[in-house]
Amino acid sequence: MARGWESKSVEAQQAEAAEGSSEPEPRLTPLEVDQLRRLQGLQLSRQRVLHQLEAAQNPRHRDTLLHALAELNRQIKALESS
């Protein structure tokens, strides 16, 4: 009986996915694609700096990471506002 319920659930999920995919995704311009990639790269760099900051014990290294984090935040904000 469990298999019957499982297959019905899968069928329902597939039907929902098919309905949702009928809407065309908006096309991005090359400039928008470039900005999106740059933003994603900055966000990944920000995550990496935050991770390093959690593990850093040397005050000078922490200071450098904090400056890098501030710069990344500035660049992300500038890119999101443009």
pLDDT at 13: 74
Claim: this prediction has a pTM higher than 0.85: no
Q: What is the pLDDT of residues 17-67, one digit of tens each?
A: 766 655 667 898 999 999 999 999 999 999 999 999 999 999 999 999 999
What's the pLDDT score for residue 39?
Answer: 96
Taking the C-alpha atoms of residue 18 and residue 79, their distance in angstroms, rounded to an integer, is 34
| Exposure b/e, 26-63, CB count within 10 A at least 16 = b | eeeeeeeeeeeeeeeebeebbeebeeeeeebeeeeeee
pLDDT at residue 16, rounded to an integer: 73
Query: How confident is the model at residue 6, as a pLDDT?
Result: 57
- Can you give the pLDDT at residue 67? 98
Quickly list H helices, 21-58: 30-55
